């Protein structure tokens, strides 16, 4: 039985988990690491470590164990960081509208999400019933 396809854009992480995944990726940037070293530096138990590895795989970030049981990030760290969702910053609508002004791809992405939120699921303004 195969795995279900997960919509990566719908994944949200707690700020603690996102920070830990970021730290794991930055540790792996330095080269292959043993599990014991990663557990110690991340202050994790084995179960938490494997949960985090599964979270990264769900996000499309591949970490593999080499022949000598050291973990290594497959690909570039920058590509992995582009796939790692940022936790909800707790913005209000005014803040989001202000941040959406700009010409970079990040601004356009935020502007699209804000517009989608403001225009509702049917493409028009939300009207009270």
The predicted structure's pLDDT at residue 87: 86
Q: Which pLDDT does position 12 carry in this prediction? A: 76
Helix-helix angle 46-58:15-29, to 10 degrees = 90
Distance of CA 33 to the CA centre of its chain: 21
Confidence at residue 129, expressed as pLDDT on a 0 to 100 scale: 46
Structure tokens at 13: 């992480």
Distance CA 93, CA 5 (A): 31
Would residue 60 be called left, alpha or beta, if left means φ above 0 and alpha means ψ between -120 and 50 degrees? left
Extract the residue ranges of the chain whose pLDDT is less than 50. 129
The answer to whether the predicted template modeling score (pTM) of the entire model surpasses 0.85 is: no
pLDDT of residue 105: 92
Structural domains in the chain, sorted by start: 13-83 (1.10.10.10), 89-129 (no CATH)
Residues 6+ apart with CB under 8 A from 74: 62, 63, 64
């Amino acid at each position: 039985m195969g795995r279900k396809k997960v919509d990566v854009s719908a994944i949200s992480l707690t700020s603690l988990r996102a920070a830990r995944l970021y730290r794991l990726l930055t540790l792996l940037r330095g080269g292959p690491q043993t599990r014991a070293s990663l557990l110690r530096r991340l202050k994790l138990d084995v179960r938490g470590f494997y949960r985090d590895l599964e979270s990264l795989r769900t996000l499309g970030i591949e970490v593999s164990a080499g022949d000598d049981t050291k973990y290594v990030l497959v690909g570039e760290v920058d590509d992995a960081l582009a796939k790692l969702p940022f936790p909800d910053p707790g913005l209000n609508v005014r803040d989001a509208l202000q941040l959406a002004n700009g010409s970079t791809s990040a601004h356009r992405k935020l502007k699209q999400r804000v517009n989608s939120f403001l225009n509702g699921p049917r493409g028009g303004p939300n009207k009270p019933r």
